[in-house]
Amino acid sequence: MIGLLRRLARVGFRKGMGGGGRAWLALGVLSWFMARSREKGKEPPPAYREVLAPGESIAVRIFEPPR
């Protein structure tokens, strides 16, 4: 699916910029954004992980911000 979107983006940019077709350019931009968002959606979000030893704990504190 990403390959098809990339191909549409490439054709849209070529025909839009070279031929002056606004519809082709819009198709190129839209398909590029869709392909880019799908690529980014596949990456796992960065996370911080640490293994706790037996007896260790985690404390989460929420402080009121100064006004």
> Average pLDDT for residues 29-39, to the nearest whole number?
87
- pLDDT above 80 (res 43): no
Spatial CB neighbours of 34, under 8 Å, sequence gap ≥ 6: 5
Would you list the domain boundaries of the chain?
Answer: 2-42
State the pTM of this model: 0.54
- pLDDT above 90 (res 20): no
How far is the C-alpha of 64 from the C-alpha of 53, rounded, in Å?
31
